[in-house]
Homo-oligomer: A and B are copies of this chain.
Amino acid sequence: MTFVLGIDGGGTSCRAALATADGAILGRAKAGAANIRSDLTGARTNIVEAARQAFLAAGEDPDLIPQTPAVLGLAGANVGTYKQQLEAILPFSRSSVETDAEIALEGAVGSGDGAMAILGTGTAYMVRKNGKSRPIGGWGFQVGDQGSGARIGRDLLEQTLLAYDGVREPSPLTAEMMGVFRNNPQDVVEFTTNAKPGDFGGFAPKVFDYAAKGDAVATWIVDKAVADVEASLGVLGLEAGDPLCLLGGLAPLYAPRLSERHRALLKTPLDDALGGAVRMAVRMFAAPVEAAR
């Protein structure tokens, strides 16, 4: 075995990295979506195409694909039998399909124990203790993802309408929001009817901005979000010395607001999720070879 492949696949695109058996990345490439829940064969096609292109980007021969092992991190890999179904039809010498969270954690903290919090449009957590991973949260916008950008934006629109009705005190932020919607609450409702989590999440940075300036409604929303994130971090069972990485667009906004206990554990991520897939491929498929040298 000369090479390993790392694959990071998601609903919008699929990235691949070709690396040497000791993890040095030689080439990267990108192909279409790899959504194993809605289109398994389409996902396979894009995964193989990304792998092929990574070989070409590295100046290597894609005909080596059947001799190359791969670790794939894919959203939804923990649901039903998608993992087994996909592994059965992949062309790599060996394939290990993991969740997207699993490769992100490996990228962030490496192969040892540690934890990550993904704080973006959604929120999700994963902790690894004695080599065993445990996911927390990530149940989506409607009934989960507390502290996410989507939930913060949704909270803001809710509080804006309550202020409009006089049920809560307005603030500079709710006044600005009513302006955004032409002072027409019906326009807010219209927006929310078709808004995707990312649309709600677009308002989150503004909420953090206003909270920093002391806006009462923004402060209320951010305080609640921080408490929700702290509650989830609390069940990870982290001890002094365990690395904790914050990922996602809201990570830098949350970091200074966390409790001292959790701030003390914060570490810069070692690598991104694609790098995590490569690291895991080296660990799973190449490490014994290394050890035998």
A231 within 8 A of B: yes
Q: Could you tell me how many residues of chain A have their Cβ less than 8 Å away from some Cβ of chain B? A: 29
Tell me the minimal C-beta distance from A227 to chain B in angstroms. Answer: 11
Known A136-B165, A136-B167, A165-B136; contact A143-B232, beta-carbon cutoff 8 A? no
Whether B139 contacts A154 by the Cβ 8 Å rule is no
A86 within 8 A of B: no
Whether A158 contacts B186 by the Cβ 8 Å rule is no
Whether A142 contacts B154 by the Cβ 8 Å rule is yes
A166 within 8 A of B: yes
Chain A interface residues (CB < 8 Å from chain B): 79, 136-137, 139-140, 142-144, 146, 154, 157-158, 161-162, 165-168, 185-186, 188-189, 192-193, 195, 231-232, 234-235
Q: What are some 26 contacts across the A-B interface (CB < 8 A)?
A: A79-B186, A136-B166, A136-B167, A137-B165, A137-B167, A139-B161, A139-B185, A139-B189, A140-B189, A140-B192, A142-B154, A142-B157, A142-B192, A142-B193, A142-B195, A143-B154, A143-B161, A143-B192, A144-B158, A144-B189, A146-B158, A165-B235, A167-B231, A167-B232, A167-B235, A168-B231
